[in-house]
Chains A and B, each alone.
Chain A
């Protein structure tokens, strides 16, 4: 017995026709894309606005300080009373010290973690380690800053008396710790997406687990791994709180890591929280420094995109 016969009063097509409200539906259908576009435009406009402010104030700065002095000068003494100097290289060197140390810490640990999680870890181990990594990624950077200042720095000072309270090594290490989860989790994603058939092919030739991980999976996932690293570097370049708390505020153009330094971000914090008057050259200098920082991270992000396209091992 079919449904139609069992209940002659029930006609689904009729019910659908009765309940449909085509007019309202098509109005919402037409309105929705416009609404969503408007919302999307908000973020685009914000970006444009920030960029415009940055450009405008940076331009004002360069009407007072020569562009050449800014990009080649090795002395950054904006607070000097008689002749302030605005050579950004010491700040860039400070940023590179922090970034370099962070990369040295984070890349080996991050990639090793990714290899372990993707190739070796049991289901149980992964279930424990991944959330811990995510917690690490969620710690506020000010907490990392105090961790550097009150935990890592004293340890370093007990190892070597040359290390001063404010130095590059301690915040460098801690910025590295901060970006480990980023490298580990993005690299693990890249390695996980390598098809198992490739691992099988390698195992069937008598490869050990390590050979499969290092010679097959790692190269196949290299574009994702490099891209994650570049993104993490960009994050390290822009990191502010850790260096503001633990790296000091001495702009220096040298290779010393044990003494106080200053990064681009830390300088911006120093000026923003100080009592510098609106319209002074120092005030405008933070925009120029901010713009330089923006260029750095922009290049890094573009590099990440380029690498993930260019070095993809096709499969």
Chain B
């Protein structure tokens, strides 16, 4: 059989104005090693503001590693070495002397598994503003409400703000984590497979939320789910074996990819 398999994934219509948008992140010749394992190879990516950028690829392709270098969470693993640059808003975050706490105050992250703190819902949201010096109870109350509304979970939890966040369902916990992230009003939100541990309905809610958040935030999302990438992202990067194979408009990637390997992956030949 030699007929080309046309990708079956539908990409919704999206406005195209990204040319005029500024960059949030530019990676230049980024390399990363775990000991001797070369996990990221010469990554060049230019990520625009107020867009949803999806990163797709098979397991072990480096997509999670890449998103974790963007807020330097890879540093928690001692054996990691990097070279090259990641320019965030004009400054190289990999440079010595760049304060990582400052970066993470600007760049929020939502993790694969919901990881609320074992505290009340209120305390989960107020934690971020508190460590950054906001102590006024009235202001904190406002932040908590605004963030929970922003994460579309206010109505579900407004009467139980003092309950432990672990009393919520997995999908609710994940939206609490998103609200926790919104509470410090970051510039960028990184999402590392945020729906992989959630049921379809919770997944849908989080996806709708991403569409909503995109108006105010730049979002970079790693996903295993190609339909999800097609549904919610403006741009898609396809990673394979630590390299960026293709990075383009999402509709272009899913309807007319330029690289054979991208086509093979999105049409389900591997991965």
| A residues lining the B interface (CB < 8 Å) | 195-208, 211, 215-216, 219-220, 313-315
Q: Are A202 and B127 in contact (CB under 8 A)?
A: yes
Report B-chain residues with C-beta under 8 Å of the C-beta of A200: 73, 76, 111, 115
Contacts of B109 in A (CB 8 A): 204
Q: When A205-B184, A211-B131, A314-B164 are in contact, do A198 and B104 touch as well, CB less than 8 Å?
A: no
Q: Which of A204, A206, A314 contacts B118 (CB 8 A)?
A: A314
B101 and A207 contact, CB distance less than 8 A: yes
- Which has the most chain B C-beta neighbours within 10 Å: A201, A202, A220, A314? A201
Task: Collect the chain B residues with CB atoms within 8 Å of residue A196's CB.
Answer: 76
Whether the Cβ atoms of A208 and B119 lie closer than 8 Å is: no
Q: Which of A197, A202, A206, A314 has the most CB of B within 10 A?
A: A206
Is A220's CB under 8 angstroms from B132's CB?
no
A216-B117 contact given A206-B104, A207-B131, CB 8 Å threshold? yes
Query: A206 contacts B131, CB within 8 Å?
Result: yes
- Known interface pairs A200-B111, A202-B127, A219-B119; 20 further A-B residue pairs with C-beta atoms within 8 A, sorted by A's residue number: A195-B115, A197-B115, A201-B116, A201-B177, A203-B76, A204-B73, A204-B181, A205-B127, A205-B181, A206-B101, A206-B102, A206-B103, A206-B105, A206-B132, A206-B184, A207-B104, A219-B118, A313-B119, A314-B166, A314-B167
Asked if B71 CB lies within 8 Å of chain A CBs, one says yes
B128 within 8 A of A: yes
Q: How far is the CA of A46 from the CA of B73 in the complex (A)?
A: 55
List B residues 115-163 near A (Cβ within 8 Å): 115-119, 127-128, 131-132
For B105, the chain A residues whose CB sits under 8 A away are 205-206
Which of chain B's residues have a CB closer than 8 A to the CB of A195? 115
Instruction: Please indicate the chain A residues that have their CB under 8 angstroms from the CB of B128 in the complex.
Output: 205-206
Instruction: Give, as a whole number of angstroms, the nearest-CB distance from B214 to chain A.
Output: 20
Task: Please give the distance in Å from A84's CB to the nearest CB on chain B.
Answer: 56
Rounded to whole angstroms, the CA-CA distance of A271 and B191 in the bound complex is 70
Contacts of B180 in A (CB 8 A): 201, 205
B108 interfacial contact with A, CB 8 Å = yes
For chain B, the bracket of interface size reads 20 to 34
Q: Taking A205-B180, A207-B101, A208-B101 as contacts, is the C-beta distance between A220 and B71 under 8 angstroms?
A: no
A-B contact pairs, 9 of them (CB 8 A): A197-B113, A198-B117, A204-B108, A206-B103, A206-B104, A215-B127, A219-B118, A314-B167, A315-B118
A267 to chain B, nearest CB (A): 45
- Top 5 nearest A-B pairs (CB, nearest first) are A313-B118, A206-B105, A204-B109, A197-B115, A206-B104
Residue on A nearest B72 in the bound complex, by CB: A203
B35 CB, nearest partner CB in chain A, Å: 15
Q: Do B118 and A220 touch (CB < 8 A)?
A: yes
Question: From residue A313, how far is it (CB to closest CB) to chain B in Å?
Answer: 4
Residue of B with least CB distance to A194: B118
- Whether A202 pairs with B111 at a CB distance below 8 angstroms is no
Which residues of chain B have C-beta atoms less than 8 A from A315's C-beta?
118, 166
Which residues on B sit within 8 Å (CB–CB) of A206?
101-105, 128, 131-132, 184
Residue of A nearest to B184 (CB): A205
Q: Which chain B residue lies CB-closest to A204?
A: B109
Across the interface, which residues of A come within 8 angstroms of B113, CB to CB? Answer: 197
B40-93 residues with Cβ-Cβ distance < 8 A to A are 71, 73, 76
Minimum Cβ distance to chain B for residue A161 (Å): 48
When chains A and B are docked, how far (Å) is the Cα of A313 from the Cα of B120? 10
Q: Kindly list chain A residues whose C-beta atoms are within 8 Å of the C-beta of B118.
A: 198, 219-220, 313-315
| Chain B residues closer than 8 Å to A201, beta-carbon distance | 111, 115-117, 177, 180
- A222 and chain B: residue at smallest CB distance: B118
Q: Considering the chains assembled together, what is the distance between the CA atoms of A197 and B119 in angstroms?
A: 14
Q: Tell me how far the C-beta of B261 lies from the nearest C-beta in chain A, rounded to whole angstroms.
A: 32
In the bound complex, CA of A32 to CA of B167 (Å): 43
**Inside 8 A of B104's CB, which chain A residues have their CB?**
203-207
Asked if A198 contacts B127 (CB within 8 A), the reply is: no
Name A216's closest neighbour in chain B (CB-CB).
B117
Are B131 and A215 within 8 A (Cβ)? yes
